[in-house]
Each structure stands twice: as C-alpha cells, then as structure tokens.
Structure 1
Amino acid sequence: MKPVVSAMQAWSCTVISAFAIIILSVIGGLFRTKHHSLTGHADDPADGPAVAGTVFTAVFVYIGFLVFCGLQGMLHVRENRRGAIAL
C-alpha cells in the first residue's frame, strides 16, 4: 500500500491531533462539570453538557485523524525500510 500524504504531513498531523485530543478532552470535561470559569458568566453557554457533547464529537474526529495520519506515517517508515527511492 502506498501512502497518500507525505511523511512530514503525516507526522505533523499525528502530533497536532494528539495535542488536540488532550486539550479538547480537558475543555469538554470542564464544560460537562459546569466549571465556573467556562459557564459562570451571563454571556457563557447555559447548557454545559450540550457544549461538552459537541466538544467530544470534535475529539472523536481528531481520533480519526490520529489513526489515519499515524498509519500513513507508519507506511512511510515501512517503505523506507524496504529501500524505496524517495523522489
């Protein structure tokens, strides 16, 4: 199987996705527990659990990116071990 994206794009996407999963999971957890720093002001969303559901949907999208880009990176590693010539 051939990689779809370049090695640099694959590994960059993997690292960015990992950080996004961590950061968004913390933000989603804070919204779920209705933490006062995120839901305490009059202009902030009143329904914290609904916002948390949306944030966790984004986490699942980033998990998909992490899996896809990680597999693309591993394809590049496997291709380089076989002695393929990179153009």
Structure 2
Amino acid sequence: MKPVVSALNAWTCVVVSVFAIIILSIIGSLFKANHHSMMGSTDDPKDGAAVAGAVFGAVAVYGAFLIFCASQGLLHIRESRRGAISL
C-alpha cells in the first residue's frame, strides 16, 4: 500500500493531533466538572456537560486523524526500509 500524504505532513499531523487531544481533553474535563474558570462568567454556557460532549467529539475526530496520520507515517518508514527511492 502506498502512502497518500508526504512523510513530513504525516508526522506533523501526528504531533498536532497529540497536542490537540491533550489540550481538548483538559478543556472538556473542566467543562464536565463545571469548573469555575470555564463556567463562572455570565457569558459562559449554562450546560457544561453539553459543551463537554462537543469537545470530546472533537477529541474523537483528532483521534481518527492521529490513527490515519500515524499509519501514513509508518507506511513511509516501511517504504524507506525496502530501499524505495523517494522523489
């Protein structure tokens, strides 16, 4: 199977996805716990659990990106071990 994206794009996507998963998980857990830093102002949402569900949905999307991009990166590693010429 041949990779769809370049090696640089694949590994960049892996790094960005990992950081996004970590940061969004923290934000989602703060909303779920109705932490005062997220829910304390009058302009903040009233239902923290609903917002947490949307944020955790974004975490799932970044998880799918992580799986796809990691598989693309591993395909590049596998191709380079076989002696393929990269153009």
Aligned to 1:80: 80
Task: Give structure 1 regions of 4+ aligned residues with deviation exceeding 4 angstroms.
Answer: none
Query: What's the Cα RMSD here?
Result: 0.3
The TM-score normalised by the length of structure 1 is: 0.99
Give the superposition deviation at 1:74.
0.1
The TM-score normalised by the length of structure 2 is: 0.99
The whole-number CA distance in structure 2 between the counterparts of 1:40 and 1:49 is 15
2:84 equivalent to 1:70? no
Give the superposition deviation at 1:4.
0.1
Q: Which structure 1 segments of 5+ residues have no match?
A: none
| Alignment: residue pair count | 87
**Quick one: which amino acid aligns to residue 58 of structure 1?**
A
Overall identity of the aligned pairs, in %: 67
**Quick one: which amino acid aligns to residue 55 of structure 2?**
V
What are the equivalent positions in structure 2 for 1:1-87 lying under 5 Å apart?
Answer: 1-87=1-87
